[in-house]
Amino acid sequence: MTNYSELLESGIIAKVRRDARQAAHLLSASEDDLAAATELVSVSPKWSLNASYNAMHVAGRALMIAEGYRPASKAHHMAVVQFLRLAFETPDAAYSSVLEAFDRLRRRRNRSTYGVDPEVFRTEALSAIETARELLSLIAGMLGESQDES
């Protein structure tokens, strides 16, 4: 069992009732976002990147609710990243690299959305889609394991 006490004590996350049904709903929504990202890549790389990022963010929230937590701070996007870093705490470099990519995409989406660095290239969007696929697969696997344990 992962220890989230530091995130709880700092007010970054809050305890809630575990909800496997809501987690499944959120995971399904994240898969819809990933499908939209794939459709948008040639039309609008910026919105494709945004949809890819949103797929990752929502999938992260799915894992949170499955484990009985939710973001509690105004920085809820960062809260999901920090939660996943603890949830995936393992020596496996694959987890580490996908979480670093997720965090980079969080910052990149922010810059493109709020006009600091608005242009998004097709190659960035395609990379974001691949990262989202990988993260969603990891989270789906974790959610499947937690269902098996119930």
Q: Which domain holds residue 109?
A: 5-149
What is the reported pLDDT for 93?
A: 61
Residue 115: pLDDT band (50, 70, 90) is confident
With a threshold of 0.85, does the pTM exceed it?
yes
Q: What single letter denotes the amino acid at residue 42?
A: S
Q: How many domains does the chain have?
A: 1
* Res. 119: pLDDT tops 60: yes
Going by C-alpha positions, the residue among 106, 51, 50, 59 that lies closest to residue 87 is 59
CB atoms within 10 A of CB 36: 17
pLDDT in tens, 19-67: 999 999 999 999 999 999 999 999 999 999 999 999 999 999 999 999 9
Instruction: Say which DSSP state 69 is in.
Output: E
CATH of the domain at 13: 1.20.120.330
pLDDT at 111: 85
Say how many residues make up the chain.
150
**Per-residue pLDDT band at 1 (split at 50, 70, 90):** low
Predicted confidence band of residue 2 (pLDDT cuts 50, 70, 90)? confident
User: Which sign does the torsion angle of CA 126, 128, 129, 130 carry?
Assistant: positive
Among the listed residues 139, 135, 114, the one whose alpha carbon sits nearest the alpha carbon of residue 50: 114
